[in-house]
Structure 1
Amino acid sequence: MAEPGDQAADGGAAHSATGPWGLRPATIEDVEEIAFAELELFPDEAWNVFQLAAEIEHPDRRYVVAAEGEDAAGALIGYAGIMLGGDLADLHTIGTRREGEGVGRALLTWCEAQAVAGGAERMLLEVREDNARARAVYAAAGYREIDRRRGYYRIRGRRIDALVMERTLA
C-alpha cells in the first residue's frame, strides 16, 4: 500500500492488492482518460477535455497521473493538478478510482512537492463539506479549515458548501 513519502509519491512504484502502480507527469495524451475519470468521479462538476487540455498545457499548472504498472504506463487510477501563483499554490483537482490504496495521498504529496519546487509556501484547496473521506485525508496531511464557501457546489439540485483548507508547506 502506498503511503505519503513512499516511492509512488516521487514517481517510483507502489504496490497494492491489485499490483504495482506509479505516478508520472500528465501529458496531453492523458486528457481523454482524465476526462472519463472526471465524469465517473464527479459527474455533476466534471471538467471537459478542452478545459483539461488547457490546464495541462498551462505553464503555471502541474498535473500528475497515477497509473497501473511500475512505469505508470497502464490504466489510469488517479490524477491531480495544481495552480502555482507565487508563494501560494492551489490544488485544482484530485481524483482516484481506487480507495484505500494510498493513491490520493501519493497524488497530494506529489502536488505539494511540485508546489514547493515552484516557490509556494502554502497550499490551498476546496473540498465538499459532505466528502468526509477527502476531508480526513487532508486533515491527516496537515490541512486546516480556514473558510467556508456557502452553496459553492451545485449537485443534483442541492447546494453544498465548500470548505477551504490550507497547509503551510516545508
Structure 2
Amino acid sequence: MAVSKKGKRTLTHLDAAGQPAMVDVTDKAVSSRSAVAESRVRFPAEVARQLRADALRSAKGGIVDTAVIAGTMAVKRTHELIPFCHPLPIDGCRIVIEWAGEQVLRIECTVRSTHRTGVEMEALTGASVAALTVYDMCKALSHAMVIGPTKLLGKRGGRRDVGRAP
C-alpha cells in the first residue's frame, strides 16, 4: 500500500486507471531487507503419532529435508510465481521446521536481501511451498491434513518495520 496526498492508503499494484501494474522501485534506496513468515500443517492424531515414531520420514523420504529444499527453491523463484514480484538477489534463506504441539508442524521461513524492495512475498512463498511439500510427502497417510494459517510474522527494511524482527 502507498499513502496518497490525502493520507489515504492505496493499493500499490494498481495504476491510476485501476489496472494491474508492477511497482517502479527505481527511486527507492537500496537497503538491507528481511522478512519472516510461518505456515503450519495440522495432522490427524494417528498420522502425527506415526510421523513422530518414524522421525518425520515417509515412503518418499525425509519430509523435513525435502520441505526445506522445496521452500528454498520457491523463495528463489517467487518472482516467477507472483506476477508483480521483482526478481531479487537472495542473500539468505533459512527454513526451520519443528513440532508446535502434538499434531502441528510449524514451518518458519526467514529471507534476507539487499535491494530496493522487500522480501515478504519470498518468505511467505517459502513457508507455503514447504507446507505444501509436507502435505505431498504425507498424503499417502491421510488427506485430512490442514495447511494454515500462513502469515507474515515480521519484516525489516524499507519505509516501515512490521511485527517481530527476523
Same fold (TM > 0.5): no
TM-score by length of 1: 0.29
Q: Which has the higher contact order (CA 8 A, sep 6+)?
A: 2
In the superposition, the TM-score normalised over structure 2's length comes to 0.30
Which structure is higher in strand share?
1
- Larger gyration radius, structure 1 or structure 2: 2
